[in-house]
């Protein structure tokens, strides 16, 4: 039986937000008051006609009434309520699903409250560390998470910005760019058209930076520690910051970006997107990806870009009528911290707490710079095909630091035959998939040997006479 999608609470919340009575609200929609009352109490379905009228009259996004929006809120609630602070309340995933369906705005308020709680907790930890180290407390600032705000905005756009794509294509025509002369032609454009002097500087002159733009002197400095492909990327990025300023200003005015740090970070992220679109033009890159079956290293060689840049670009191929394989993307460090994430596949990444240690993106650290493959299965049965590889970051020569990170890229297993990485694997044997979850706390599997926390879905049971496969995975009591 299909799951009912109760939209009445959302209609009621919209009406109250507008400050209208049922009679006035119904009049604007062209329906009777009694019919509106039935809709608000989930006794009549919200028809497509009324939904379209709602969108037109009250200027709302139809996606806010979609089940996918409710599912996303539910998953966020499950993850948030996985915090041990809620352990004594006995809440189940069904309770949270009901909350998301009946009171989406209240759910969002609860999530915002929890995020603030987490920030306060992080701030308290930072403050305690400063007290312990006898640091100057006046330098302490409240922890903020601009990366989360920017990531959420990009996720809402499915990491596809048509106007940025169009601007990149326009630059190719205006500057008459050619693949084999991309750096020199971008240099000619930035110096001749934009009047900016470009200087390649030694790393010690850059004082730790790889790119510096002096707005007064209109001088762009790039570190000679950057490989040629990265210098080209930084040229394109700077062009984007200048030529797309008005468009970037409109995007970063989004209410979800609540701080100047968030707005600056979003602007840089959009400029990075533009640079990737310039170096890997949409249609040509999509055709090459399909022709070479998404061979990332081969694509990097052809377009003179890095492994990570190719992975980023693959996630942005969402142009209607010309879509690539929908991928999810994650970047982690060796301590397990997620520094970048995006999902076009529906897979969830941990927002609060640590992720599942069974993901191959963590195992990639065991075999540096080798691509690892994995079929993985979530508790709901969804199966993904994922690859992962480490990257050695850093610029500037032998003595410069070179931190190691890992990139994970994945898709629904049904797309795996389109990828060269799927060759030689039995993609039909779903039982062979590695069982994974979003995080220990939210995962339903209690028989996992790597479980590090008790599951939200099952009360923790401790028996001194029984030892399971882990402390949080007790054996059956007999």
Beta bridge partners of 408: 330, 388
**Residue 213's closest CA among 227, 224, 198?**
198
- How large is the average pLDDT for residues 291-317? 97
How far apart are alpha carbons 261 and 283 in whole angstroms?
33
Mean of all residue pLDDT scores within the chain: 83
Residue 93 pLDDT > 60? yes
Q: Is 141 exposed, middle or buried (0-12, 13-18, 19+ CB in 10 A)?
A: exposed
Domains observed in the chain: 8-110 (1.10.260.40), 162-279 (1.10.10), 322-435 (3.30.450)
* pLDDT on residue 470: 65
The dihedral over CA atoms of 219, 222, 224, 225, expressed in degrees to the nearest 10, equals: 150
Q: Give the distance from CA 393 to its chain's centroid.
A: 21
CA dist list (Å): 57 to 28, 39, 49, 263 = 7, 17, 12, 31
- How large is the average pLDDT for residues 103-120? 78
Residue 71's pLDDT band, with cuts at 50, 70 and 90, is low
How far apart are alpha carbons 229 and 336 in whole angstroms?
28
Q: Running DSSP on this structure, what letter comes out for residue 352?
A: S
- How large is the average pLDDT for residues 357-386? 91
Residue 207 pLDDT > 90? no
Residue 169 C-beta-side C-alpha neighbours within 13 Å: 10
* pLDDT on residue 318: 93
Residue 3's pLDDT band, with cuts at 50, 70 and 90, is very low
Residue 406 pLDDT > 70? yes
Beta bridge partners of 411: 385
Query: With DSSP H G I counted as helix, E B as strand and the rest as coil, what are the percentages for the chain, rounded to 5?
Result: 50, 10, 40
Q: What are phi and psi of 451, to 5 degrees?
A: -65, 130
DSSP string spanning 129-149? HHHHTT--GGG------HHHH
**49, two tokens:** 């006609």
Least confident of 135-149, 184-198, 392-406, 461-475: 135-149
Beta bridge partners of 383: 377
How far apart are alpha carbons 57 and 31 in whole angstroms?
13
pLDDT, one tens digit per residue, over 306-338 is 999 999 999 999 999 999 999 999 999 988 888
3-state secondary structure 239-266: HHHHHCHHHHHHHHCCCCCCCHHHHHHH
CB 390 within 8 A of CB 364: yes
Does the pTM of the predicted model rise above 0.75? no
Sign of CA dihedral 292, 298, 304, 306: positive
> Regarding predicted confidence, which is higher, 101 or 433?
433
Sign of CA dihedral 459, 464, 466, 469: positive
Beta bridge partners of 410: 328, 386
How far apart are alpha carbons 273 and 236 in whole angstroms?
10
* pLDDT on residue 143: 44
Give the DSSP H/E element, type plus range, for residue 392: strand 383-392
**110, two tokens:** 């609860």
């Amino acid at each position: 039986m299909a799951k009912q999608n109760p939209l009445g609470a959302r209609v009621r919340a919209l009406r109250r937000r507008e400050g209208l009575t049922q009679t006035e609200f119904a009049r604007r929609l062209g329906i009777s008051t009694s019919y509106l009352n039935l809709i608000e109490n989930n006794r009549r379905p919200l028809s497509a006609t009324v939904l379209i009228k709602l969108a037109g009259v009250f200027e709302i996004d139809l996606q806010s009434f979609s089940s996918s929006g409710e599912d996303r809120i539910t998953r966020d609630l499950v993850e948030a309520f996985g915090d041990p602070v809620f352990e004594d309340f006995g809440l189940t995933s069904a309770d949270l699903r009901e909350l998301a369906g009946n009171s989406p705005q209240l759910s969002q308020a609860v999530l915002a409250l929890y995020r603030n709680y987490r920030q306060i907790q992080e701030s308290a930890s930072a403050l305690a560390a400063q007290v312990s180290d006898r640091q100057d407390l006046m330098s302490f600032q409240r922890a903020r998470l601009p990366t989360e705000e920017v990531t959420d905005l990009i996720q809402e756009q499915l990491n596809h910005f048509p106007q940025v794509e169009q601007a990149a294509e326009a630059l190719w025509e205006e500057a008459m760019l050619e693949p084999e002369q991309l750096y020199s032609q971008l240099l000619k454009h930035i110096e001749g058209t934009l009047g900016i002097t470009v200087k390649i500087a030694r790393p010690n002159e850059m004082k730790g930076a790889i790119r510096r733009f002096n707005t007064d002197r209109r001088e762009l400095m790039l570190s000679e520690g950057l490989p040629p492909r990265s210098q080209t990327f930084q040229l394109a990025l700077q062009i984007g910051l200048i030529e797309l300023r008005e468009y970037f200003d409109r995007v970063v005015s989004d209410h979800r970006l609540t701080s100047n740090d968030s707005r600056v970070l979003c602007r840089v992220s959009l400029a990075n997107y533009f640079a990737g679109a310039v170096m890997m033009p949409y249609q040509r890159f999509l055709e090459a990806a399909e022709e070479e079956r998404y061979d990332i290293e081969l694509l990097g060689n052809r377009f003179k870009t890095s492994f990570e840049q190719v992975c980023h670009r693959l996630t942005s191929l969402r142009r209607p009528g010309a879509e690539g394989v929908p991928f999810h993307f994650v970047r982690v460090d060796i301590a397990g911290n997620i520094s970048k994430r995006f999902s076009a596949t529906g897979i969830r990444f941990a927002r609060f707490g640590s992720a599942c240690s069974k993901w191959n993106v963590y195992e990639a650290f065991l075999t540096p710079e080798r691509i690892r493959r994995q079929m993985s299965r979530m508790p709901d049965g969804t199966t993904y095909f994922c690859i992962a590889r480490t990257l050695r970051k850093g610029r500037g020569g032998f003595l410069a630091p070179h931190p190691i990170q890992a990139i994970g890229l994945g898709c629904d297993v049904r797309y795996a035959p389109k990828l060269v990485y799927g060759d030689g694997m039995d993609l039909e044997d779903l039982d062979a998939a590695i069982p994974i979850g979003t995080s220990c706390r939210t995962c339903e599997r209690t028989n996992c040997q790597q479980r590090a926390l008790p599951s939200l879905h099952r009360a923790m049971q401790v028996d001194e006479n029984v030892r399971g496969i882990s402390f949080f995975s007790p054996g059956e009591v007999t």
